[in-house]
Structure 1
């Protein structure tokens, strides 16, 4: 039966913001010569100050903790104390009243001090902060490129420093749709950067030497390079989803699939959105728009429910999976596990048709 999903205004506006950021970096290298305003430079310098704090904090004895190093809590405590002073210079006098609403998004962007973990929910908080600053007029839409390739890129550096020094745990369960242990958004923006590339195709990032040579060009390749530096063993084992995605024929399809996956695996996952904070800037008020879906459950906000996945599809990339793929049941949802998409995509099953790779549009 048809059910109407009520869209939160925050969901609609945030997703629209991500699409604007994404569209702004299509075909643009990370090292492109971009004009940065004074506030952008101040923001990057502020993040640089956070990175210096990381170096200044000594680690605690590893024998006293099982997982993440407890010294991270000293960083987080200092972050909470200094955040008002860090963000205040970015706001003009008439917007200083917004500081209490912006502060939690910033402090939640760098992980959880109780669990000493970090995940896509923390990453989302930083993007929500940028969304709020743009909504306030601190940053304009003309600065979307530098928001991604300068500010967000610097944020990634800080988070990687935190993750490696304090041995932070991945937040929540990675599941079958994980891209890496911690980040998601750079795979979205990074795939947009590679759209139209004549030399790099999705299959290219499985070649370590190619990734090392071009990591500076794209956030996507930079993330894969970081994975290669921090993980051992066959790529298809420690990063199975990325391995599967490499079979997608072109970057435009990868990019659109990343957005669908982000909606399904981040924005519609209750364990993620239950920690999000809403206010006047990031509002939980109902949007004027609604969406229809075939569901059997009660009406609940779209941000808290994952719609049923269509049978014989892999994740959000709409591959037609032959019946040789393994299936398993989790609660009431049927989950299709792809196995080796490369083999499935190349070999036709007797009873099903697997479409040939799509041509570059």
Structure 2
């Protein structure tokens, strides 16, 4: 019998009950009807998302993507996840010629996309495990957000709902203490940029349609690159919004600023000037200054993307990104761009979102763990068991549990879906 001091669990607290629920179910969907949208905008996850977007926007003002900014070893390891995903994409490029049986090109692409998604599921967890091995208490939650960031294997499309899941992933990295304040700029201009580059390749390779709310002013697969692209230019911009469509300027600055690269891609992929291929964006860029462009884009993102049922119904929530309501005293802060924050050696950098204070394991298990003398990895087999007990939703291949050591394809429900299609 254990001699460890016991904890009173006969009348469990709300913290114990919540921790037990997370242990059994893992991340779950919460927005299932229009009435749930009101709970969403009062949730901790919503407030953390707004805070992360705005604080990141303030941090990247005046930063060019090609200029130097702090890049930690942790950030480099996270970026390596995308090296593997790019390699998987090359392996699963649709082969439209040489088939003995004539198969429609759309069917070939959908099969290849499902195959890529299947292998991506396993890759995300194994590589994320390696990237944050010393701090992976929340590895399952972060992995669930990340693997929902690359489209929908059921409807075979991509949209802001998937981008929101990657935003949850980024925010969760800071909430978990895996990324620190010094990683704020690199998370947007390096890690997020790698994500957008991969999404662009996925959309092109597999011909994925856009899944978005028609009220959104940006007719594209993603929105945040436009928002953070305007934030980059809100300080020390070498050109005005109305000038950014000029050919010479695009060639000179498309690698420096996200929004210029996006405009270049739109014009090349859709074959025409911005006024014809993206009229609403072209209209927004007629605003005189970049801070004003940012405010217009931010307002549209909050009102027509984050508040859209079509977007949020696909979101999942857990510990780091919680659906619990915030206190009434909590206020949303908007970013007012155009001036940099005070900088100096004596000024302590703050993370873009508050650190999550986790629930202790002993409150659930009923005893207090001894403090280890040496640091151990949180990635023990015991810690991983909760991955096996997460809730699997019907007809949602993205909700299948990750089972350590099990090769891709041994989960019957996933295999049957990916081979047979929706």
- TM-score grouping bracket, smaller chain normalisation: 0.7 to 0.9
Question: 1:322 corresponds to which residue?
Answer: none
Instruction: Indicate the residue corresponding to 1:280 in structure 2.
Output: 319
Cα contact 2:241–2:285 (8 A) shared by 1: yes
Cα distance, 1:158 vs. partner?
Answer: 0.9
2:94 to 33, 39, 59: 59
Partner of 2:157: 117
3-state SS of 2:70 partner? coil
Structure 1 residues 169 and 200: alpha-carbon distance in aligned structure 2, compared to 1, 3 A threshold? same
Check 1:288–1:227 CA distance in 2 against 1; reply closer, same or farther (3 A cut): same
Per-residue CA distance 1:107-147 (angstroms, 9 max, x = gap) = 11111112221111111111110111111110012210000
Distance change >3 Å, CA 229–CA 91, structure 1 → 2: same
| Structure 1: segments with no counterpart, 5+ residues | 293-361
- Residue 72 of structure 1 corresponds to 113
Name the structure 1 match of 2:220: 181
Cα offset, 1:20, TM superposition: 1.3
- Once residues 210 and 6 of structure 1 are traced to their aligned partners in structure 2, the CA distance between those partners, rounded to angstroms, is 40
2:172 equivalent to 1:147: no
Equivalent residue for 2:139, pick from 99, 106, 113? 99
Paired residue for 1:90?
131
Which residue number in structure 2 is paired with residue 10 of structure 1?
Answer: 45
- Structure 1 distance, partners of 2:282, 2:74, is 39
Task: Find the counterpart in structure 2 of residue 264 from structure 1.
Answer: 303
Q: Which residue of 2 aligns with 1:41?
A: 76
Cα shift at 1:58: 3.2
Larger fraction in strand: 1
Structure 1 residue 91 displacement after superposition: 2.4
Against the structure 1 CA distance between its residues 244 and 67, is the aligned structure 2 distance closer, same or farther, given a 3 Å change threshold? farther
> Is 1:172 aligned to 2:202, yes or no?
no
Cα distance in 2 between the residues matched to 1:167 and 1:289? 45
**Alpha-carbon distance in 2 for matches of 1:100, 1:122:** 17
Asked if structure 1 preserves the Cα contact closer than 8 Å seen for 2:78 and 2:191, the reply is: yes
Partner of residue 127, structure 1: 167
The answer (yes or no) to whether the contact 2:263–2:274 under 8 Å persists in 1 is no
Look up the match of 2:32.
none
SS at match of 2:300: helix
Separation of aligned partners in 1, 2:268 and 2:54: 30
Residue 66 of structure 1: how far off its partner (Å): 6.7
Structure 2: distance between partners of 1:131 and 1:169: 27
- Asked if the contact 1:105–1:126 (Cα under 8 Å) also holds between the matched residues in 2, the reply is yes
Q: 1:198, 1:139 → 2: CA distance?
A: 28
Write the distance in 2 (CA, Å) between the matches of 1:238 and 1:186.
Answer: 18
Distance 1:146 1:169 in 2: 29
Matches within 5 A, 1:252-331: 252-289=291-328
**Once the 2 structures are TM-superposed, how far is the Cα of residue 57 of structure 1 from its aligned partner?**
1.2
Conserved 8 A contact 1:71-1:166: yes
Instruction: Check whether the contact 2:65–2:189 (CA below 8 A) recurs between aligned residues.
Output: yes
What is the alpha-carbon distance in structure 1 between the residues aligned to residue 222 and residue 147 of structure 2? 17
The structure with more radius of gyration: 2
* Alpha-carbon distance in 1 for matches of 2:154, 2:84: 23
- Distance between the aligned counterparts of 2:40 and 2:146, measured in 1? 30
Counterpart among 285, 290, 309 of residue 246 in structure 1:
285
**C-alpha separation between the residues in 1 aligned to 2:200 and 2:262?**
10
Where 1:52 maps in the other structure, the secondary structure is helix
Aligned partner of 1:190 in structure 2 is 229
Partner of 1:321: none
Quick one: distance in 2 between partners of 1:5 and 1:271?
Answer: 13
How far is the alpha carbon of 1:290 from its aligned partner?
7.0
Tell me if the contact between 1:70 and 1:116 (Cα under 8 Å) persists in the aligned partners. Answer: no
Aligned to 1:110, what secondary structure does the other structure show? coil
Asked if 1:208 corresponds to 2:244, the answer is no
Equivalent position of 2:355 in the other structure: none
- Alignment TM-score, normalising by the size of structure 1: 0.75
Q: How far apart are residue 198 of structure 1 and its match?
A: 5.0
